[in-house]
Every structure is written in C-alpha cells, then in structure tokens.
Amino acid sequence: MKYFFYILCTAFVLGCQNSSKETTKIESKQLGYSVKHAKGFSIEVYKDFAIIEVEKPWPNSKQNYRYLVQYTSTHEQDKGNFDAVISTPISSYILSSTTHIPSAESLGVLNKLVGFPNTDFISSKAARKRIKAGKITDVGQNQQLTTELILNLNPDVFVGFSVDGANKAYSVFEKAGIPILYNGDWVESTPLGKAEWIKFFGALFNKNKLAQQQFEAIENAYHKTKQLAKTAKNKPKVISGSLYNDKWYLPNGTSWQAQFIKDANANYMYKNISGSGSLALAFESVLNKASEADIWISPGSYTSYEAMLNDQPHYKKFKAFSKKTVYSVAQQKGETGGVLFYELAPNRPDLVLKDLVKIFHPELLPNYNLHFFSPLQ
C-alpha cells in the first residue's frame, strides 16, 4: 500500500508539473501580429509581453535594439537581453517626431503624452488643445533637449529618433531610469512601410489588435486606389522639388515619394535613378530634362506662382508652371505653422495616393476633395 501510495503521489505531482508546463507553453504562444511592409522593425507579441526589435533606427546603422514590453508581471524574462524594459500600462511618455503623433492619436493614447520637442511643429488639433492646456510640455529641440524639464517630467518611456545615434542627452535619461526607444519610421523607403510603424506603437501600448485593424484599413484603401489608377487612359509626366541654395532637390527614383507617383500611374521623369533620398541637381540639368513635364508637385515651401517667380524667374520656362498645373503641400498647415503633410502623410499613404490620382487622373475621382495637396495660388 505504501508503494502504491508513493506511485500515486508521484504521478499526481508529475501530472501537475506537466499541466503547469503546458499552461505556460499555451500562454507564451506568439499571437498573430507581424510586420509585412516595414523593413526597419519587427514585433513578437505574446499574451503577457511583446518584443520589439528595431533593426534600422537610422540610415547605415550597424546596431539593432531590442525592447521588452511587459503587459503583466506574471511572466519571466531575462531582462539582460534587452536594451530597454517597459512596464504597462504606460502613464506618461514623450515623443520626438510629428510622425509619431497620428499613431498616438488614432490608438487613443494621446492623453498620456506629456512632452514633445518644439511643439509648434505639431498640427494635430487634439494635440494642440492639450498643448494649450499645458498638458504637453515643450522640451526644446531634438538636438538640444532641455534635460531638466525631461527629468522632472520623468516619463515612463521616451520614444526618440536619431540621424546617426549621436544624441548624447539620451544616455543621461537612461541613467536616470527613463527607457529610450528608437523609432525609425522615417528611414522606410515605401509608403506602406512607413505607415506600418503604427504596429510599433500598438506593441508598446498593448493596442496590437487596434493597430493591426487600422493598418489593414489603410493598406486596403491604398491598394484599391492603386488599382483604380491603373485604369487611367493617360500617364502624365511629373516633376517634383525646387531650387534651394543653387541646387534643385527632388526625390530619387526609388524613394517613397517616387513610389507614390508610380502607384498613381504617372511617369516620374527621374524614375530611373536609384536611391532612397534626394537628388541635388543643377537648375540647367532639370530644365533640359523636365521642362515639358505636365504636372509639378511639391515645389518646396512655395504657395503661389508669384513667390516662385520672385525667387527664380526661369521657373516660367517649365510647361507645368505656364499651364498652372503646380500643386503644393505647403498650404495645409496647423495653427502654429506646422505642415500637415509632414506629420500625417507618412501615416496615411492612402490619402496621399488619392490626392495624386485626383491630380493626375481627375476623371477617376470626380467627387474627391484633395486632402494634402492644393493648386498653387
């Protein structure tokens, strides 16, 4: 009987252990959230935690960053394997780029934002209301952050960005116990890749399902408009950019801006030049190649033909200028002068594409009103 009792107890204990292991395995099963278009980050989402890996925080970065976001305190992780560990719910945080604002707003966590560098750049009406109420503090400029203010705010997390990883203030905040998370949305080279960074914020704030739903809606709308553009009967020639300090800056042929033009079924005149950034060309070179372009988009900060002529009388040699088919994003601004396009467009490529299809093929969207672009005055 003693032997039988021993066997029975042993079986019971082993059964409990196996049951416990199986439960842990089930609870640790990765949920169905992933990154499809973005190249700069990945996420692994579980019931109790998420792992965010930022693989390209700035151009030519050789360093990856791994972040652990804890949704509960019940699971165990080796925290030494991560560059930052964040516990949720997050009660306060700081952002560093206007492109982060739309994600925070659409995920319903804007009310936790307590600081931002140079708040005048923000166009969001909801964010501006909180700035006026003193709930979002201006913390300086990205390269000259007001350290004392940020330390006093003591946010649960600081979502930063860097052009080369050289922001020394970040190390001060980390030593004070403020986790720094790099966001590299601006490095992405495709419209949908940029927009997919909403999933970065979804993982950070435990809003994964909502972030997935919102991105899929944007993705579907983008593809629908792209398919519509393919039905156009003509393919206008397009030029972009303008002169600055004796150089004409315009998008490379494989940049995210050029991708919009391609998907809107138009002929970008520099489409064959590879690169993700901008080209800097002599005025004469652009005049010789693109003077016969049918449409001119994004001519810098210009909002009127008169202003363009005052700066450079030779602009009138371009067909698009003489035919008054120049469209700018500089006219849609927030109340303190921030250009809406720079804040919202990376998050809403579906609206940008609709604008361009309306400009290039107005017959396809007869009842659509432009969101970002406006005809030059």
DSSP labels for 166-222? --THHHHHHHTT--EEE--GGG--SHHHHHTTHHHHHHHTT-HHHHHHHHHHHHHHH
CA distance 284 to 291: 10
The letter for the amino acid at 153 is: L
Q: CATH topology of 41-218 equal to that of 230-375?
A: yes
CA distance 210 to 37: 18
CA distance 83 to 67: 6
Q: What is the pLDDT of residue 7?
A: 36
Host H or E run for residue 126: helix 125-132
State yes or no: cis peptide before 117, omega within 30 of 0: no
CA distance 110 to 64: 27
Measured over the CA atoms of residue 374, residue 291, residue 232 and residue 220, the dihedral's sign is negative
Residue 243: strand pairing partners: 248
The domain ranges of the chain are 41-218, 230-375
Q: Can you tell me whether residue 7 is helix, strand or coil?
A: helix
Place of tokens 């739903």: 213
Q: What is the pLDDT of residue 274?
A: 86
Q: What is the layout of strands, in order, in the sheet containing 113-116?
A: 137-138, 113-116, 93-95, 157-160, 180-182
Q: What is the pLDDT of residue 68?
A: 96
Token code pair at residue 186? 């601006």
Estimate the crossing angle of helix 349-360 against helix 256-263, to 10 degrees: 50
Q: What is the pLDDT of residue 10?
A: 39
Topology of domain 41-218, CATH:
Rossmann fold (3.40.50)
Q: What is the pLDDT of residue 217?
A: 98
Token code pair at residue 262? 């391609």
CA distance 8 to 91: 50
pTM over 0.85? The answer is yes
Q: What is the pLDDT of residue 28?
A: 58
The second-level CATH assignment, the architecture, of 230-375 is 3-Layer(aba) Sandwich (3.40)
Digits of tens for pLDDT over the chain (377 positions)?
343 333 333 333 334 444 333 333 334 578 889 999 999 999 999 999 999 999 999 998 888 999 999 998 766 666 778 999 999 999 999 999 999 999 999 999 999 999 999 999 999 999 999 999 999 999 999 889 999 999 999 999 999 999 888 788 999 999 999 999 999 999 999 999 999 999 999 999 999 999 999 999 999 999 999 999 999 999 999 999 999 999 999 999 999 999 999 999 999 999 999 877 789 999 999 999 999 999 999 999 999 999 999 999 999 999 999 999 999 999 999 999 999 999 999 999 999 999 999 999 999 999 999 999 999 99
Token code pair at residue 18? 């196996």
CA distance 212 to 32: 10
